Every structure is written in C-alpha cells, then in structure tokens.
Structure 1
Amino acid sequence: MGETRSRTVLFFDSGIGGLGVLREARVLMPDWRYVYVADDAAFPFGGWDEDRLRAHLTGLFRDLLEVHRPAMTVIACNTASTLAINHLREVFPGETFVGTVPAIKPAAERTRSGLVSVLATPGTVKRQYTRELIRQYAGKCHVRLVGSEHLARLAEEYVREGYVDEAAVRREIAPCFVKMDGRATDIVVLACTHYPFLVNRMRKTAPWPVDWIDPAEAIARRAASLQGTLGVLRAADGVDLAVFTSGHPQSSVVRLMRGFGLHLADIDNPERVP
C-alpha cells in the first residue's frame, strides 16, 4: 500500500446490471477512471452453490485488484454483495469495497400501505443478510420476498436484442403484487441491478401502479461519499475499460459498452485495449 493509487474505481457485476450504477457514479465522480468488470463467464450467480461462488469471487478479485489497483471497488450486484462482501473485506483489508444491498429501509420509510415487495434473485432472497435488513428496518411492514429465476436473463436479452417477452416479465413480477385487508402493495424494491433495465416493461405489465425503487443512485452516492477517506490519489491514466471474464462478449454487448464510453479490454492483457 506504499504506492499512491490513482482515481480508478472498479465496478463489478455478473453482467450488464452495474452499468446503471456506473452512469450515476460518473455524474458524482466525473474525474475518476472506470473499469467495468462483467463476470459473464459465471452468469447468472443465482444458480451457484454459496461456498463455490464465494471461493470463485475471492480468486477473481485477487487477480482484478492486482491488475487494476483501484482506489475503490463497487460491487454492483446484490447477490455478490450479500454473499461475499464481508468476506472480501476480511481477505483484502487494504481495499475499499462499496456493496449493493436491497433498498428495504427507504421502501419501509416511503410505503403508505405497509405492503412492500422485494424483487430479487433466489440467492439474495434466501440470504440471512436480507432477512436481517427486514427485521432491522421494516418490522412494521409486510414484506414479501420474491425470488425471480429468469428476470436477470430477460434483462440481459433485452439490452442485447432490444426485445423482451412481456408475458414472461409479467409472470416473473406477478408474485410482487399483494392485496391484504383492503390494502395493496405500493412499493417494489428492485434488488438486482439488472432489473431497472426492464422497469418500463414492468410498469406496462403490472396489475396496478407501484413505486419501483432503483438502487443505482444510492449506491453511487455512497461511493462518492467515500472519496475523502481514500487519502491522496493521483490522476488516473488510460481510458475507461470494460473487461469480460469470458473473453468473448457478444457484438451487441460490445456496442453497448462503447455507448457507455467503455473500451473493450483484452482478457489476457486487461490493460491493453485492442
């Protein structure tokens, strides 16, 4: 840790979900360099055994932190954050990690009906971390946890192809909508960073209007608030990068990354831009 680090922030997600967070961070942290890592070789995280996924993330971050030397790392993924962020902080004590957790506290503060749903991956739904957030912040609410098997994949397909099966979206979000004692769900927490890409389709297919809470801005604000704790940082060199662990992203995804101002890095030499 003797060297002075540059203003480089590493964003990590299983796919394209973290791009929404990156977009918000650029507004608040315009003089930083961004390295976006999509672990598409392991997508989706929801189907992984917990111990295997934690070990996978630990090994992957050991390499990423060594290569890119970020001053800050944003894990823009609820599944990875709720499973592994505390473990990563223990393994890499000199690193600054910003996690992504379900926005249960603001949902509990904003609901009028007291009926809140948390739409997440199955992995996030079953975590004790998520249930502890409910116990701590939403004890007076009825919170329904909805684990979607397919919504992250549908979001990836929509971003790549510009089309999504609206009937499939409707099926995935249907369990979020609850009526009880004359009240109805009025807030749905989007507890996966992929889901906001589909929010317009969700609004269209929902049985009644609700507030959809997108965590991107709050995550970006948290990252920006930590800038003053990082010590002296030198100006970052190089362009903003996109790194895909598969080494073979689809051409549509490459175009998407370019639209976000990210240059595709060579997986075998991540600091070299082809």
Structure 2
Amino acid sequence: MLVCQQCNHEQQSGKFCGQCGGALAEQSRTETAKTNSETSEAEAAVATETTVAPVQQKNSFQTYVTFIVNLLKNPTRALKLNENQFGYGLITMAIYAFAYALANYFLANKMVKEMFGPLTPSLPFFDLTVPLFFFIILFTVGAFISTFAATKLMNNSSSIKNILAQFGGLLVPFMLINVAMILFGIVGMAKFTIGMTNLSLLFSVYFLPVLLAFHKGTELKGEQKVYFSLGAAALSMLISYIIIRLAILDFLDKFDHVYSWF
C-alpha cells in the first residue's frame, strides 16, 4: 500500500499522490491500521474535549440549584457547610448584590417614566447598577469581615473558606428575596420593593454576623460568645457607616449633579 507523505492519501500504484501530488511511500497494512487508529483516537479526544466542558457547566449549575433549594428548605444546614462550598458562597453574594441593584434600577426607571411620561429616556443602566452592585458587595464583605474577626477573637480555628461558605449559605433566603424583588421593581411596586430589599440588606449585614458568630462561639462553648456576637454586629455597622460616608454620599451627590435634568 502506497501512502502520501503529505495528505496520507492511500493508493495502489504510482510515484506521486493523485490528490496533492506529494511523494508516495510504501506502508504495510499494519502500519496503515495503526495510523487510522491514532487518527480516530485523536478525533475522538477532540470531540470529547468539546463536549465535556458544556456537560461540566450543566452539572455545576444543577449542583448549585440543588444547593439553593436545600438551604431554602432548611437554612440551618448552612451552619454545617465546609470549605468545599465556599465557591457557592461567593456566587450567592454576587447574585445577592446584583439582584439588589437590578430591582432598584428597574423600580427607579419605572418611577421616572410614570412621572415624566413613557417617552422619557431610560435611566443610565451601567451608571446606576454597577455602583449599586459595588456598594452592596462592600456591605456584605464588611459583614463577613466582622464575622471573621469575632470568630478569631473567640479562638475558633475555622478557616476563611469555611466561614465564607456558611455566611453565603445563610445569605441564600435573602438572595432569593432580592431576585423576587426584580419583578416587583419592573411593575413599579415602590413601597414593597424598597421595603423588602432594604429589609434583606438589614438582616444580611447586621443580623447574620450575630447569628454566625454566636454559632462559632457555641462550637467552642465560649463564655463570652454573646458579647463577641454583638461586637460583630457593631463592627459591621461601623464599616457600613464608613462606606456610606466615603462612597455612597459622594456618588449620590455626583449622580444628582450630572442627571439633574431627570
């Protein structure tokens, strides 16, 4: 069997390839079969690589949904999460903040159109949602830092990943509240949307640190876990105050100046 050295075309006779004109070389049937087998394996490997990624992404999404459903049914399970779920904690914090930003943006946009008419230009999406998302992330990070500080002051050896996983798990019900408020913001239910999103923020930033810090103190049977838990809430309040003074008030002032024509 003659095989082209350039395109691997096979033919029975001749000195040059009938397909590309390249030089032919003698090759046994065994070698030909081996070459075909290697080619098939390479093609199969490429096909596998292109299908594994979507399957893994689908499985990861399904696992996260199951994670959310289980914690929604019983939030107490969040206190048993370990370092392996810290990634879900990060995702939950991100969705929580983004849903809060979207709910309030859609509500503000709806209210502007009701006040000035449906032909009024929409509020700038990124100019509003990105800073709001960033501020809520800062609030939740402040709450997490407060919890972590109280945990370490009680000499609890829990790692950052462990505390983050449990904090994110406790945040799940409030994340779902913010997601639901997106719909109420779209239809313009102002009092309900503002009330629920701010209530969600209040519980997430001030009450969750108390709850999780108290749980960490209970694990070690700490004698002062009540004070340390309240200290976590106080520290979270202090961080929130700093964020408001240094970032949010300045943003609101700039936004009011630039978009005063609304």
Q: What TM-score bracket applies, with the shorter chain setting the length? A: under 0.3
Larger helix percent: 2
Q: Does 1 or 2 have the higher relative contact order (CA < 8 Å, sep 6+)?
A: 1
Query: What is the TM-score with the length of structure 1 in the denominator?
Result: 0.21
Query: What is the TM-score with the length of structure 2 in the denominator?
Result: 0.21
Larger strand percent: 1
Q: Which of 1 and 2 has greater Rg? A: 2
